[in-house]
């Protein structure tokens, strides 16, 4: 039987409320890798066996395989399509910085993404209906509303695991404002963190910010505080027509935004990772760490303990020259002490 071109297209199974789905969808578009976008509800039990049960899921029809977890998906696509507009800087030091900021986005900035949907009553109701519609539509409003309420209650129950609470809100809000301010500064002079072409960290940050662009509270704040970032998010969703530029030399020309975000990582993401790893080692039931002079508390998260190990391993595995090239920047921003 002859295989058609259509049969070789990836299928990306996800949802518009998933920041990681939006991240991978935008990367596939930018890299001009053929794929079809399917909502999770469209595939039913086909992916019920996938563990962990998270989206996006990438189906490769060439071997009928399924993969998820967005950063491993980025690396899988880099390996499979090395000539298709890479989103990883060629310079090994810059590639590590990109990986660090992608991790900051996926594992720490995701806290404000979650808060923007599941802390305030107005946002809870709106995003419950939003998810209900994409699970059920077309369907009568009563059906959408019922499913939306189920998803709303399910997601609110996860606030403790993510760290979303009234007590943590000031720290999470300050992170959100720091990211907006850094990116607003960026898009006043250039589009991307590591050069004239987007890296995976750019797409990761856009993915975490896009859900808030629809939430009643965060949307208004984003448009007021960072109007150019609001426009940048629209552009980042489909860069298939962007002309590929050059990577910049991070040792001599790091973007101000990359420096600001590395400093933000050293103030929040990395000390949290360290405290989370310590909580697991001590079998504590609570992560308790001081950030910006305030207590931040949440349940320990095993996956993020593995992420911290992976960050430190990748830094240790850098060739000596690449490590020496970025150590001054990591030291200046406060990141180095958590990695070395």
What are the pLDDT digits (tens) for 66-78? 999 999 999 999 9
Question: In which band, very low, low, confident or very high, does the pLDDT at 3 lie, cut at 50, 70 and 90?
Answer: very low
Residue 171, SS3? helix
Whole-angstrom Cα distance, residue 236 to residue 23? 9
Q: Look at residue 33 and tell me whether its pLDDT is greater than 80.
A: yes
For the chain, the structural domain boundaries read 9-80, 92-119+164-339
Transcribe 297-312 into DSSP letters: EE---HHHHHHHHHHH
Report pLDDT for 55. 93
Average of pLDDT values for 300-307? 95
How high is the mean pLDDT of the chain?
Answer: 94
**C-alpha distances in Å from residue 318, one per residue of 26, 38, 106, 339:** 28, 38, 22, 12
User: What is the strand order of the sheet 10-14 is part of?
Assistant: 35-39, 10-14, 57-60, 65-68
Report pLDDT for 2. 35
Q: What share of the chain in percent tops pLDDT 90?
A: 90
Tally Cβ neighbours within 10 Å of residue 141: 12
Tally Cβ neighbours within 10 Å of residue 106: 24
CATH 3.40.109.10 describes domain 9-80:
no
Report pLDDT for 165. 98
Report pLDDT for 5. 41
Q: Look at residue 8 and tell me whether its pLDDT is greater than 60.
A: yes
Report pLDDT for 164. 98
Which residues are within 8 A (CB) of 177 and not within 5 positions of it... i.e. 6 or more apart?
225
Tally Cβ neighbours within 10 Å of residue 156: 16
Q: What share of the chain in percent tops pLDDT 70?
A: 98
Q: Look at residue 54 and tell me whether its pLDDT is greater than 70.
A: yes
pLDDT of 114-129, one tens digit each? 999 999 999 999 999 9
Question: In which band, very low, low, confident or very high, does the pLDDT at 152 lie, cut at 50, 70 and 90?
Answer: very high
Report pLDDT for 4. 39
Question: In which band, very low, low, confident or very high, does the pLDDT at 6 lie, cut at 50, 70 and 90?
Answer: low
Q: Look at residue 103 and tell me whether its pLDDT is greater than 80.
A: yes
The DSSP output letter for 267 is H
Query: Both tokens of residue 239?
Result: 């860069």
Average of pLDDT values for 274-282? 96
Report pLDDT for 53. 83
Average of pLDDT values for 244-270? 94
Q: Are strands 10-14 and 57-60 parallel, antiparallel or unpaired?
A: antiparallel
pLDDT of 209-233, one tens digit each? 999 999 999 999 999 999 999 999 9
């Amino acid at each position: 039987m002859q295989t058609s071109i259509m049969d070789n297209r990836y299928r990306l199974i996800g949802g518009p409320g998933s920041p990681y789905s939006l991240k991978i969808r935008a990367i596939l578009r930018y890299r001009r890798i053929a794929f079809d976008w399917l909502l999770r509800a469209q595939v039913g039990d086909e992916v019920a066996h996938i563990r962990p049960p998270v989206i996006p899921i990438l189906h490769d029809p060439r071997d009928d395989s399924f993969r998820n977890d967005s950063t491993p998906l980025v690396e899988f696509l880099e390996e499979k399509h090395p000539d298709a507009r890479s989103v990883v800087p060629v310079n090994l030091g810059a590639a590590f910085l990109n990986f660090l900021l992608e991790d900051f986005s996926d594992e720490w900035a995701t806290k404000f993404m979650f808060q923007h949907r599941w802390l305030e009553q107005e946002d809870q109701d709106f995003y419950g209906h939003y998810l209900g519609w994409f699970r059920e539509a077309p369907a009568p409003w009563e059906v959408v509303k019922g499913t939306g309420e189920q998803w709303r209650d399910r997601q609110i129950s996860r606030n403790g695991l993510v760290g979303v609470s009234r007590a943590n809100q000031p720290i999470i809000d300050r992170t959100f404002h720091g990211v907006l301010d850094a990116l607003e500064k960026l898009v006043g002079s250039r589009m991307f963190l590591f050069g004239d072409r987007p890296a995976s960290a750019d797409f990761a940050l856009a993915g975490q910010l896009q859900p808030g662009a629809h939430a009643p509270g965060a949307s208004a704040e984003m448009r007021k505080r960072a109007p150019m970032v609001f426009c940048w998010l629209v552009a980042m969703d489909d860069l298939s027509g962007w002309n590929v530029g050059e990577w910049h030399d991070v040792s001599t020309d790091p973007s101000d935004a990359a420096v600001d975000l590395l400093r933000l990582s050293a103030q929040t993401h990395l000390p949290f990772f360290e405290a989370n790893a310590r909580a697991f080692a001590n079998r504590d039931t609570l992560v308790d760490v001081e950030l910006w002079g305030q207590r931040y508390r949440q349940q320990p998260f095993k996956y993020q303990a593995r992420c911290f190990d992976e960050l430190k391993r990748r830094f240790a595995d850098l060739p000596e020259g690449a490590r020496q090239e970025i150590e001054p920047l990591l030291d200046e921003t406060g990141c180095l002490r958590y990695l070395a």
